[in-house]
Structure 1
Amino acid sequence: MREITYIDYINKNAVERLAYFMETLSITNRTPDYYVNWEKVTRETRKYELELNTLNYLIGKDDVYRETLELFKKQPDLIRALPSLIASRDKMLDVLNIDKEDNMDFYKLDFVNIDTDNLESYVDFAEESGLLNFLEHDANKSLVDYVYGIEAGLDSNARKNRSGTTMEKILNRNIVKVSKKLEIEHQSQATADFIKNNWGIDIQVDKSARRFDEAVYCRKTNRLWLIETNYYGGGGSKLKATAGEFIMLNNLISEPGKNINFVWVTDGQGWNTAKAPLLEAFGHVKYVFNLKMLKDGYLEELFK
């Protein structure tokens, strides 16, 4: 693959720019810290560390139902730790109950405001969920360590959003470095109000809550660049919708006469499933870059 400079890339037509963009897509943007947010895991576990250490008393008990009920009578606040033990973030649970005759009814359990007049319902839930059996037969010495493992597993659900956060961090690092070198200003999560109040430029936005991942401003030339970033490791309808959204956003805010330009930094093998909407976007958005282009200094050339 032949390397293309920023100037050569920008001067190509939409089809040619898209071809080079697709050729240089990254395989992944998953840095080592993508997999587990240990700070969050530790924070969520420590919320109930005292309760969990107390609940260790139940491990290995023969009559675990009776022991649990007696313990909850003495310390009902221990019940607040139960959702963590069954890998639930919810603290208010709606439960379907089915009896031996297949009769169904629903009930609600509040794990924040404990119903001390109905402690047996919590113990019944713990038994029917399999938690008491686990405590009696399978749990080891530390429920705190067990919940650490649960929280690490639950944290994997956040990985999809973490790809976008990683792109924001990569973009920010690049912009911080270039801004210092070129002596220009920048702001992460910039709003239209911030831009107006600090740089005196009015911009149109598609929604009042719009925050641009990065905004870069050169006071000497009064030029403004508004930047959005994302990453798609897999396909789906979201890619087409995003391409359409950024076409509209580009057409709304880009004003060459006022030196306002929209920049889109995106990457990921998912774009191989959405070349048609991406080509349409390339026909409208002049500045579409991927991670390799950031690595090759395209942002610095753009801001010069």
Structure 2
Amino acid sequence: MNYFDYVNSDSQSRLALFLNTLSETNKTPEYFVNWEKVERETQKYELELTTLNYLIGKDNIAEVAKDLFIQQPQLLKAIPALLAARDRKLSILILDDDDNMEFVDLDFKNINIFKIDEYIEFLDNAGLLSFLKNSVQKNLVDFVYGVETGLDSNAHKNRSGTTMESILARKVEKTCMDLGYEFKEQATASWMKENWDIEVPVDKSQRRFDVAIFDSINNAVFVIETNYYNGGGSKLKSVAGEFKSLKRLIDSSPNKIEFAWVTDGKGWLTAQIPMSEAFQEIPNIFNLEMLRNDFIYHMINAN
């Protein structure tokens, strides 16, 4: 089905085609590990980590570590990286043998030399000293590369959304080059008013449309949101309702503004009722297959 047949079909037919052409994945090769970030985060403490190699295999490691940190307290700044912690200020709950609780705050950004014993006790209780003594095979820089790679994998959920934004932006950029239109990623209503003199009504002041396109000849704006849901959940219902309401708000504008939503993922198979309601309000709901078939180009060129 081409774009024109699609948008001129009834909402249930469009929904059926949408659901039948959902993609298995949106994972590009770049999805899996952001190596640039891994490299950057590791190199932050490369000097400190190289110096901390001195502790590897030491028998009296607590005593040696204390002496080392007294001489070079800045080495403690690398400790969160070894513990796969992004925070540099750690709040820790200490339980003694009688289950008495004590809360300790340790700052690994601004080192408190008077708390060296507390730092050492924490490293011991966290198992890091034992790890350094018994388990490290080579060096801590290589170890942190592995830690950072693992931490980066936790960003997969967020990266799925940014992948969709990247795919959409590349498609829009090519379309706008062909048609001679302007476009802006992460466009706010205030930016569009200032630069294009078009007032786009929004449901929240901090709303940033993933992409906005400006047709200066017809004084028209196209605003596009995108996301991807591989799994189900209440989030899908709320997003469908949010964009349905946003479409109504945009339609209330006297300006020529068109809203489109590019979304995909098998998660939508679990949220067909809210999606059906969204399809009744929003003609331009596309998935990746439709993006591949230039629905964005035809949507813009037809208006």
Q: CA deviation at 1:102?
A: 3.1
* Equivalent residue runs for 1:79-228 within 5 Å: 79-228=76-225
Q: CA deviation at 1:146?
A: 0.2
Distance 1:186 1:64 in 2: 59
Distance 2:296 2:92 in 1: 53
* Equivalent residue runs for 1:1-304 within 5 Å: 4-254=1-251, 258-304=255-301
Q: CA deviation at 1:254?
A: 2.4
One-letter amino acid matched to 1:51 = E
Distance 1:106 1:185 in 2: 55
Percent identity, please.
52
In the superposition, relative to structure 1, how do residues 104 and 198 fare at CA in structure 2: closer, same or farther (>3 Å)?
closer
Describe the superposition over 1:110-137 as per-residue Cα deviations: whole angstroms up to 9, x where unpaired: 1112111120111111111110111111
List structure 1 runs of 4+ shifted beyond 6 angstroms. Answer: none
Are the aligned partners of 2:201 and 2:253 in contact in 1 as well (CA < 8 Å)? no
Task: Give 3-state SS (helix, strand or coil) of 2:65's partner.
Answer: helix
Distance 1:69 1:220 in 2: 71
Q: CA deviation at 1:91?
A: 1.2
Q: Which runs of 5+ in 2 are unaligned?
A: none
Are the aligned partners of 1:255 and 1:261 in contact in 2 as well (CA < 8 Å)? no
Distance 1:24 1:117 in 2: 63
Are the aligned partners of 2:211 and 2:223 in contact in 1 as well (CA < 8 Å)? yes
Distance 1:271 1:183 in 2: 34
One-letter amino acid matched to 2:167 = I
Describe the superposition over 1:241-284 as per-residue Cα deviations: whole angstroms up to 9, x where unpaired: 00010011100012586321110000000000100000000000
One-letter amino acid matched to 2:71 = K
Distance 2:260 2:198 in 1: 17
Distance 1:84 1:141 in 2: 17
Q: Which runs of 5+ in 1 are unaligned?
A: none
One-letter amino acid matched to 1:253 = I
Distance 1:66 1:47 in 2: 26
